[in-house]
Structure 1
Amino acid sequence: MNSPPPPAHPDAVRDGFVSIAWRDREVRIEYRWIGGEQRAAPLLVFLHEGLGSVSMWREFPQQLCQAIGVRGLVYSRPGYGRSTPRAADEAWDVDFLHRQAHEVLPALFAALAIDEPVWLFGHSDGGSIALLHAARFPASVAGLAVLAPHILVEDITVAGIEQTRRSFMTTELPQKLARHHDDVDSAFWGWNRIWLHPSFRSWRIEAEIAAIRCPLLAVQGQDDEYGTLEQIRGIARRVPQTRLLELPRCGHSPHRDRPEAVIAAVAALMECTPGD
């Protein structure tokens, strides 16, 4: 059940699996440790997007951790990557992001014997999960950076997800995603069906995130095809200590489109110096 401690060397990367109990069964979670400059370095936990996984992050987590001298933990949520796929009859409900934030993430921390306050780095759905976790468990979060998070459902989001559904059914998108997921149908349909379900249109978390007290960085591209700047501006209205970063020439994945700007902003948030 328990993972070995994070490696101390800044270039060390260690992959593995750990089991948690969730939804009345044992679920295997894929993870990757990225070593910091020292064992006492802050721990940055990466939460992936709606179709993401450990491998979908590519080299960015290691790039960020090495640039600012922190440790990193990357993992694939249940249903994604090499983690346990959804059961055949398992359909996600409107509370699926809450359950990841309130149930899966604490169980993962317990299984890996992580009992220190962590920093969270969440992208898209992962950003929403990071916000929900920080609001529910303030003592366990030192701070968080969220990229293109969702705090409510917008028309542009639904239109983008509908287009992704068409692409999945008519292009080579399933083959491309299969490079990153053992069960590509589990990953895609679990995410796509709930986001497009009529009951999900009323999903919103502005009131809940007002409980966040830690430092918070909210980043969004001005050309984001899945959401407007209202997503991060809405966070700032509810969480006064929020730092906003609105990036030109940037779509839904700021860490891919503008990695240098994201690294610099996270370094400032964590009071680190890139390149040290």
Structure 2
Amino acid sequence: MTSSTETALTTTEHLDGGVAVVRLNRPDHLNAFNFDLVDALEAALEALRHDVETRVIVLGAEGRAFSAGLDLADLRPLPGTEGFGRVQGGLAAQERLVSLAPLIHHHPKPIIAAVGGAAAGMGMAIALAADIRVVSPKASFAAAFIRVGLGACDFGTSYFLPHLVGAGRAAEILLTGRKVPAPEILDLGLASDLVDEPIERAIEIARSITAHSPFGVAMTKQVLWANITAPSLEAAMALENRTQTLALLTEDMGEAVGAFIEKRPANYANR
């Protein structure tokens, strides 16, 4: 059984098994981001934050592009900053636009980006902020900011890309602003799968995640990304030890052990 909700700019489909599929829905503009789309995607993701039925989120897009990035034809002041100075207003607008990257990265539920077309500039950054990426043969990434007189490091790309592919590879992609085609995205480890139907594959991955306890999944995401920048092995292991001790004391741990012994699926209650 599925259910769906939608706004003018995003749609959310709730699938059986705790998977929600959120789609950008501005295909006539190649899903380019303006403030309205930022607001719509933020609202969709925040609505799922405390939805106990949703365990994993798949982020896709309608149309032939995942996202062409920032909508340069719709550059305008952030609502409410009309009286600001040029620098102050520009910074407020910049901070609002980039807020989606930490929202996705720190969201308590795993987010899988299903990229079926071009992901440029801000679109690339949104995909990189996700925990897992699945791409189609038509997908491409491009740090397009540098093509329009800006630096290529924006929307968190200077953090995500070097961590995912290394500083040298990241420098080449960012400084050239070139299009990275789907096979190279896969070879670089930026995507887990290259398939004709990335939404379907992302849903399969999502359902393999929902087979595990909600607490265990949430802590795995939290510890994985926290320890990317851990100052030492000891610091990383201290966080792991805290998490495993907490997980050991949950009721779901006992349920998992019982299910393993009885050779049946576990029935997790997130307790």
Q: TM-score range by the shorter chain?
A: 0.3 to 0.5
Indicate the structure whose relative CO is greater, using CA pairs within 8 Å and at least 6 residues apart.
1
TM-score by length of 1: 0.35
Structure whose CA Rg is larger: 2
| Greater helix fraction, Structure 1 or Structure 2 | 2
TM-score by length of 2: 0.35
